[in-house]
Chains A and B, each alone.
Chain A
Amino acid sequence: MTNRKHLLAGIILLTILTTACEQSKQATSTVRPPTKEEVTKTIPQNTQPELAQVTEGTRQTYQWYCTQCHGIKGKGDGINAKFLTVPPRNHTKAQYLETRTDEQLFQAIKFGGLSVGRAPCMPAWGETLDDDIIQSLVQYIRELCQCEAL
């Protein structure tokens, strides 16, 4: 009888613990950077940043959002730059940017710096900008650096 009581108590405790873990998992599911698998899964299969066009809208978007850190000419000297622990990327320097693929730049803009193993100072813009404009921003960065992925 005592054994049965212990067994029952054990089952109840296990159920409670399992449920609590699931709730905790749900509650924090949107507050961590996406895993590599999630990033790959979320990127549209037909993403072809190299085909995106840089339009006036692209330049305006860059000026409105990106210049805050990357500067009005993309030199990494925006008004926030000197306050950041990791300096914003200079988009006019090809040396680093040619080592990144267009897909990596797309991921960094959409999911933030952490998603591609870079600085968390770069926030995720995926809830603000749609994929088309992010693709055109990638091409605009290519214009600024006058470089392509090696």
Chain B
Amino acid sequence: MKTWITIIFSGLLLSAHASAGIVEEKDCGSCHRLHPEDAEKVFTAPDLHYAGNKFQPKWLKQFLKNPEVIRPAGFITNSGFSQIANLSPHSSYTEQEANTLTDILMDLKISTLSPVTSEPLSKGLRAKIKYQFERTFGCISCHQSLNLAGKVRGGISGPSLVNAGNRLQAEWVAGWLNDPEVYMVKGRMPRYKMDPTTLSQFTRFIMTLKKENIK
């Protein structure tokens, strides 16, 4: 009995050690910020110290196995950001590595986000928010998204929102729109003051953007 307990315990310890080591092994921290205390350092890829607040695990796992381009112009701190430099593709990982990395990344959180309503938007409200997305706030100038006909439209300096509904957590989208500085000290996106109703509707609109809706 004692031997079995020792074997199981050792196995768990080894597994935990291997899990913790994969982030170092893959050198994720050389491009991504993984710790909140690294605020002074400049990283060349998106911050991941709040990955557990931001991403949906299913999408994250898939991304790690088959990376897709989210930021066609690169990350905002890249020296060639404004000139479309040749971007090196993100590394891809095996199923097992992707599972382990996803588990680790989903544990990285910096805040407890307020719950948001997941009530779907009516067709009319969706059209209204889309209008605001393009005309009132001008989001389309920097973000690719889907128009009402399901076509990809928009600028490329901001992250693509074409698949935002599968990629992001609604609570994070609302948190970002409300107070982006919690997540990024200085982004390149204008700040907006949205009333709670608009913020909720905007979040729900962004969560409707999914790549399976591309026509």
Contacts and interface: CB of A to CB of B under 8 A. Distances in A.
The answer on A and B forming one complex is: yes
Interface of A: 26-33, 63-65, 67-69, 71-72, 78-80, 83-84, 112-114, 120-125, 127-128
A112 B141 CA distance: 12
A125 B141 CA distance: 14
Given A27-B195, A68-B142, 17 more contacts: A28-B195, A30-B193, A31-B137, A68-B82, A68-B188, A69-B155, A69-B157, A72-B82, A78-B82, A79-B81, A79-B155, A80-B142, A83-B155, A84-B141, A124-B190, A127-B193, A128-B191
B57 interface: no
Most chain-B CB neighbours within 10 Å: which of A27, A68, A128? A68
Interface of B: 73, 81-84, 132, 134-142, 144, 153-157, 186, 188, 190-195, 197-198
Nearest to A33: B136
A80 B141 contact: yes
A125 B191 CA distance: 7
Contacts of B73: 79
A148 to B, nearest CB: 27
A28 B128 CA distance: 11
Contacts of A33: 136
26 contacts: A27-B198, A28-B195, A30-B193, A31-B136, A31-B137, A31-B194, A64-B188, A65-B190, A68-B157, A68-B188, A69-B141, A79-B156, A80-B156, A80-B157, A83-B144, A83-B154, A83-B155, A84-B141, A84-B155, A114-B135, A114-B136, A120-B134, A121-B140, A123-B190, A125-B190, A127-B191
B197 A72 contact: no
Contacts of B186: 64
Given A63-B82, A125-B190, A79 B157 contact: yes
A113 B135 CA distance: 10
Nearest to A32: B136
What DSSP secondary structure best describes chain A's contact surface? loop
A28 B81 CA distance: 35
A88 B87 CA distance: 25
Contacts of A124: 137-138, 190, 192
B195 A30 contact: yes
A123 B137 contact: yes
Interface centre among B83, B141, B144, B188 (most CB of A within 10 A): B141
A25 to B, nearest CB: 11
Given A30-B198, A64-B188, A83-B155, A121 B136 contact: no
Contact of B138 (A28, A71, A112, A128): A112
